[in-house]
Chain A
Amino acid sequence: MAASMLFQMRRHCSLVPCLTVAKRQYASNPPSLFSKVFLQLNQRFLEVEYLIRLGNWFKNRDVRRKNLFYDYAQKKYGVNVAAAYSILKLGGAFRFAGQTEWFCTDSKGKFSFDFVNTPDSTIEEIDLSRTLINQAGLHNLMSQRKLRSLSVQGCPEVDDWFLARLHVFSETLQELNLSHCPRITVGGLAALQHLRQLQQLDISSLPQVQSPGLVHILVEEMLPHCKVIGAEYDQGLQIQTDNREPTDADSLRHAQT
């Protein structure tokens, strides 16, 4: 540490050599291992950051893997099979149009590949609640133009950009459940205006939405034919009548007495 300080001083002024002599004893004092490591790391700032980025990359690998675009499956088996496969891979469930039974995974994440035999059936209902789907994963589902109902309840990776991509289902989507998604904000809810067929929308418990009561009203106005489930209208509004009225009444009472 001392050495680098002296180096810094030398850079700044040519008189420093005389000082250096006086301080020689410190220069010969070896810096502690800790500070040596620290100085080394300081010089390797970008590399360290790169390593940490790599760490994050590994951490997010799961999300990315689950949201891969199944290009190969689409080409080989058709778009419907690829969509079905991607849903089951994510741990979600779906129902084909004209059928009543749901395809889903068992507790170990295994599932049957029966859907491969019916490449022509399109998906009508999708339940992806509590999965890792994000806007990239939505790409696999874009082909499902008969989709009627979608639930992404409690999905940690669903954000405003996800909502902005839902417009592809604008002709068919009737039910949408977005409740408990921690990343959705008002800015994303505005994108739901394109879903003209929507009949039921659940936007309850969105922690990032401030004044949920007001947002509830605004979403209802935006989608006049849709039943919106969400916060009570007065939630998040600061209701001051409670505080103010008594004081008015008090002052009245005072005036009378």
Chain B
Amino acid sequence: MFSLPKVRFTGRSYKTLSLINSHCCSFGVNSSRSFGTGRHVRKDFIQDLENQFKAFRDKAKAAMPGSDWSPIQVTRGLPPERADVVIIGGGVIGWSIAYWLKRKLMSRDSLRVVLVEKDPTYSQASTVLSAGGIRQQFSLKENIQLSLASASFMKNINEHLGVLNEDPIDLQFNHSGYLFLANEAWAHIMEESYAIQKELGAEVTLLSPAQLKERFPCVNTDGVALASLGLENEGWFDPWTLLNAFRRKAMSMGVYQCFGEVTGFRCWTQNAETTDGDLLNIKRIKYVNVQMPNSLEYQPVECAVVVNAAGASSGKIGDMLGIGHGPKTSVAAIPVPVEPRKRFVYVVHCPDGPGLECPFLIDYSGVYLRREGLGGNYITGMSPEESEEPDCSNLDVDHEFFQEKIWPRLAHRIPVFENLKVSGAWAGFYDYNSFDQNGIVGLHPLVNNMYFATGFSGHGLQHSPAVGRAVAELILDGRFKTIDMSSFDFRRILRQEPMLEKNIV
């Protein structure tokens, strides 16, 4: 590729050269002196020269097309200056959207998608800290449909996310259904939900306390009025595998991944008047500022569409845009109601606990339990009372919470758990929608090119394949085509009409 300078030298000159240990290629220096240690020096010099050639070869190789070398020093990993879609947040939702955007358009360069993730280790992302469960036992039609669609996606995951010349994906899916237990007060709600689930084709069955005792002898049925058990398409899987599979596939389809934090936006503003005479600021994002890790350098990315998939911090992203800072009593004063809520997960060991048949148990007291592997390990947890929410500034685990709240309830429900050992614990953030504990999917009315896909409050992982598809449809087709999720729109929050999901864990 490059013409190498022709090197010609005499036997005398190179001795001198190597002696003064020169690194620059000033061949042709003539010197009248020569030293007697000839052989040794010659060897040194030839080695030196070889090293220099090697360095040169490397440089030449780096300049070949397809490498990221350039004559001007640039920071590695800077996002491109322009993009069609910028996705904020590289959790499972973000990558799923990226995948579906590319999947829906069959040509590589038709849409430039940049995904910005601030933490390459995913140390705080809810995706990798979740319990990994999937169920159809919801009370809202949309949630059930999303779960069914996601389950069928996982069934054929290798057709969707398989990459050529890579190992097939093994989600480590464990086909054990969820077992919800209801007390007298909840039983009628469970029956209603059951009817909806059946209608939509979910395979669920109701069990009376006697049947429950027969199926799961280890469960204490005191206080249980009704139980519902998932028969198919329910269970748990490895969240990290799903995230990685989405990421691998999306990147192979040409999505740009960039590590950096979104710290601000530059917008165009337009004033509009509502029918009530309120003055509204309608914004349109022109640039997303992406700050590089461990530096002050940032790059504005010019873009047409922004997707907010930042999980628990998506409320903060809304804040950066001034959502919720408007004049009181107007819609502009309503913030994005998504906030981090810390949830603890405890790993317990109980050699006499239920075996392979162990379901994903959800007691009406709020405690959940599932098996982890085959060695008598289980994971358990529960959501605290609204008034006792733990501090969300870190991910420390409160072990007293287990001793005081979880263990008594767990041992009451499954008496063998009176003898157990806590062998580990972790905490993660729910992307908690404090308004109605449901996902927010759609455009924000006041920022007319920001799409939301957030607020799933503890069931985002299982819905990610279907939500990704829905958001991609919304962006590319302008409307939902497969599952109608228009009721998950931001407008319900502005209108203060909550869409409550009854089966929240």
Measured CB to CB, the residues of A under 8 A from B are: 1-2, 4-5, 8-9, 12-13, 15-16, 23, 26, 43-47, 49-50, 52, 135, 160-161, 163-165, 167, 185-191, 193-194, 211, 214-215, 218-219, 221-222
Contacts and interface: CB of A to CB of B under 8 A. Distances in A.
Interface of B: 1-2, 63-65, 70-72, 74, 106-108, 155, 164, 172-176, 203, 231-233, 235, 252-254, 355-357, 374
16 contacts: A5-B63, A8-B65, A8-B70, A9-B70, A45-B254, A49-B164, A135-B155, A161-B175, A164-B175, A187-B173, A187-B174, A188-B175, A190-B174, A190-B175, A221-B355, A222-B357
Contact of A187 (B2, B155, B175): B175
A46 B374 contact: no
Contacts of A218: 355-356, 374
Contact of A190 (B71, B107, B254, B357): B357
Contacts of A161: 155, 175
Contact of B72 (A12, A167, A219): A12
Contact of B233 (A2, A164, A185, A215): A164
Contacts of B63: 5, 9
Contacts of B107: 46-47
Nearest to A215: B374
Name, among A15, A193, A218, the residue most crowded by chain B CB atoms within 10 Å (CB to CB). A193
Nearest to B163: A49
Contact of B65 (A5, A52, A214): A5
B360 to A, nearest CB: 11
Contacts, number: 92
A13 B164 contact: no
Contacts of B357: 190, 193, 221-222
Given A1-B64, A4-B65, A222-B356, A164 B232 contact: yes
B254 A46 contact: yes
Contacts of B253: 46, 49
Contacts of A165: 232
B71 A52 contact: no
A191 B359 CA distance: 10
Contacts of B64: 1, 5
Contacts of A167: 203, 231-232
Nearest to B164: A52
Contacts of B175: 160-161, 163-164, 187-188, 190-191
A12 B71 contact: yes
A190 B176 contact: yes
A190 B108 CA distance: 42
A24 to B, nearest CB: 12
Given A8-B65, A221-B356, A16 B374 contact: no
Contacts of B174: 186-187, 190
Nearest to B170: A185
The 9 closest A-B pairs by CB, nearest first: A191-B175, A12-B70, A187-B174, A218-B356, A193-B357, A164-B175, A46-B108, A222-B357, A4-B65
Nearest to A5: B65
Contacts of A193: 176, 356-357
A190 B155 contact: no
Given A218-B356, A222-B357, A13 B65 contact: no
Nearest to A50: B106
A187 B203 contact: no
Nearest to A35: B65
Given A161-B155, A187-B172, A218-B355, 13 more contacts: A5-B65, A12-B72, A15-B71, A26-B1, A49-B253, A161-B175, A164-B235, A167-B232, A189-B356, A190-B235, A194-B231, A221-B357, A222-B356
B1 A5 contact: yes
Contacts of B232: 164-165, 167, 191
